[in-house]
């Protein structure tokens, strides 16, 4: 019996063993193929980074070599510096450096990119580079050579010793100390060197481009968890706040806030809210739920959202954008005062289109940016600003608007809405100098949202 059983089982076990071996071999081959692709991608990004930093040094030298009266040559050189720096930033993002302190170098390159972009975009014939900016260019030229030399030295070690980037990723992931990998040591040396560059004076306006929303921007006193519970109960119109849970986030940091969770029937997982620690202002809330059918149109959704905002002290708001997905209307409102639409003070509202219930609010931009602004009268009239528009644009509406331009500056503009080539656009013309600051393509639904 056992002999007969062994005769039957042996071929089966043999086939299973061979199959397991083939499967293991194929898995090993597939894993090796993935590792080789990742290694090749890392190597390409690193060598491209070294090339572009070297090219950046050359381009800065070319820019400094032109005649100081040749504004077009300066503009071209600065645009090239911005382009190459952006490429270098992209290549750094492709390397496995997320666990490695390399933030000083990344910040340095970001500041360099924005410095060159801001300088290139302005009218250099009216506002030429200042002595401080020329000093910055000279300092950047010298420092880019130092960084380039360090990267070339690392490149030589990588090629000569056949170093692998996968080993870098493994060393960083295991967090073993000390990290004695040659590539890691090289990047740490570069970052330390960059942190000591004190001769580059970035302007406050440039640095403000990276300003994050933090509690220092808010007014008012710090509030307690109990006060937040009461605020949440009032907002949600709950008589009994005992079911509300409040958790403090980021204690002792500039991003302190309170997270709130409250039970609510028919929602996916209750109501979630965030409040600022300073001043106790609502940053956002969400009470998401499915909306089975659509019963409200755009204007009804807008009116429901506008009524909600007004009842919660978001005054003088006008709808500027509309989107719809899964029977949920998403609207953006901006403040409108003295016939100026302020896109900087904006809130987002989610409306369930089955019954008009407000199921979401995003007010972070409003909380951190809302303030009294003393705006000067525009230097140009609306008629004068129109001359900067494409003559083919058929204008249907015009108003004054406060926006942030590409340089993150607050700019008063004339906003023109119109049609060209069968599509709707909003064009923002600087109310002081007639510069075309921004163009937005808008959908028909968006155009309807602010119509009476």
Q: d(Cα 57, Cα 311) in Å, to the nearest integer?
A: 58
Q: Where are the domains of the chain?
A: 35-204, 220-369, 382-449
**Highest mean pLDDT of the ranges 77-86, 203-212, 243-252:** 77-86
Residue with tokens 């000279």: 138
Q: d(Cα 298, Cα 319) in Å, to the nearest integer?
A: 11
Contacts 24+ apart (CB under 8 A), 80-85: 81/56, 81/112, 81/113, 81/116, 82/113, 82/116, 82/117, 82/120, 84/52, 84/55, 84/56, 84/59, 85/56, 85/109, 85/112, 85/113, 85/116
Q: Quick check: 71 and 88 in contact, CB under 8 A?
A: no
CATH architecture of 220-369: 2-Layer Sandwich (3.30)
Q: d(Cα 431, Cα 376) in Å, to the nearest integer?
A: 10
Looking at the DSSP bridge assignments, the partners of residue 411 are 403
Spell out a b/e string for 352-389, using b for 16 or more CB atoms within 10 Å of the CB, else e. Answer: bbbebebbbbbbbbbbbbbeeeeeeebebeeeebbebb
Count CB atoms within 10 A of the CB of residue 274: 18
pLDDT band, residue 254 (cuts 50/70/90): low
**Class in CATH terms, 382-449:** alpha beta
Q: Quick check: 352 and 289 in contact, CB under 8 A?
A: yes
Spell out a b/e string for 125-161, using b for 16 or more CB atoms within 10 Å of the CB, else e. Answer: eeeebeeeeeebbebbbebbbebbebbeebbeebeee
The predicted-structure confidence for 310-365, as pLDDT tens digits, reads as follows 999 999 999 999 988 889 999 999 999 989 999 999 999 999 999 999 999 999 88
Taking CA atoms, 267 is separated from 271, 289, 296, in Å, by 8, 5, 20
Does the structure show a pLDDT above 80 at 158? no
Per-residue confidence (pLDDT) for residue 415, from 0 to 100: 95
Q: d(Cα 196, Cα 187) in Å, to the nearest integer?
A: 15
Percent over 70 (pLDDT), the chain: 82
Hey, do 220-369 and 382-449 end up sharing a CATH topology, with the first three levels equal? no
pLDDT band, residue 179 (cuts 50/70/90): very low
Q: CB under 8 Å to 136, separation ≥6 — which residues?
A: 115, 200, 201, 202
Least confident of 4-8, 65-69, 198-202, 403-407: 4-8
């Amino acid at each position: 019996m056992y002999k007969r059983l062994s005769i039957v089982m042996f071929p089966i076990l043999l086939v299973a063993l061979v199959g397991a071996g083939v499967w293991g071999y194929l898995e090993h081959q597939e894993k090796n193929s993935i590792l080789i692709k990742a290694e090749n991608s890392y190597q390409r990004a690193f060598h491209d980074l070294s090339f572009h930093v070297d090219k950046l040094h050359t381009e800065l030298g070319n820019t400094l070599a032109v005649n100081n009266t040749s504004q077009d040559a300066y503009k071209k050189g600065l645009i090239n510096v911005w382009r190459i720096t952006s490429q270098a930033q992209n290549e750094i993002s492709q390397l496995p450096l997320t666990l490695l302190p390399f933030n000083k170098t990344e910040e340095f390159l970001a500041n360099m990119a924005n410095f060159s972009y801001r300088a290139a975009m302005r009218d250099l014939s009216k506002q030429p580079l200042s002595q401080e900016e020329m000093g910055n260019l000279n300092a950047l030229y010298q420092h880019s050579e130092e960084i380039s030399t360090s990267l070339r030295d690392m490149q030589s070690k990588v090629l000569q010793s056949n170093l692998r980037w996968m080993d870098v990723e493994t060393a960083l992931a295991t967090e073993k100390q000390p990290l004695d990998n040659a590539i890691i040591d090289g990047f740490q040396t570069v970052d330390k060197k960059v942190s000591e560059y004190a001769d580059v004076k970035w302007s406050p306006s440039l640095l403000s481009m990276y300003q994050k929303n933090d509690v220092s921007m808010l007014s008012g006193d710090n509030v307690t968890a109990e006060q937040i519970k009461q605020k949440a109960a009032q907002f949600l119109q709950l008589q009994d706040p005992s079911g509300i849970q409040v958790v403090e986030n980021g204690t002792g940091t500039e991003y302190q806030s309170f997270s709130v969770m409250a039970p609510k029937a028919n929602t996916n997982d209750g109501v979630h809210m965030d409040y600022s620690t300073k001043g106790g202002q609502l940053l956002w809330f969400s009470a998401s739920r499915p909306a089975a059918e659509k019963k409200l149109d755009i204007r009804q959704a807008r009116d429901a959202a506008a009524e909600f905002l007004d009842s919660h002290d978001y005054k003088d708001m006008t709808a500027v954008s509309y989107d719809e997905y899964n029977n949920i209307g998403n609207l953006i409102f901006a403040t409108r005062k003295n016939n100026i639409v302020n896109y900087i003070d904006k809130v987002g509202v989610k409306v369930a289109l089955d019954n008009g219930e407000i199921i979401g609010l995003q007010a972070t931009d409003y909380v951190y940016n809302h303030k009294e602004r003393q705006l000067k009268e525009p230097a140009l009239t609306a008629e004068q600003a129109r001359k900067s528009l494409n003559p083919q644009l058929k204008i249907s509406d015009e108003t004054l608007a406060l926006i942030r331009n590409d340089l993150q500056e607050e700019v008063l503009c004339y906003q023109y809405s119109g049609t060209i080539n069968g599509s709707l656009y909003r064009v923002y013309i600087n109310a002081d100098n007639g510069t075309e600051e921004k163009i937005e393509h808008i959908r028909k639904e968006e155009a309807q949202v602010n119509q009476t």
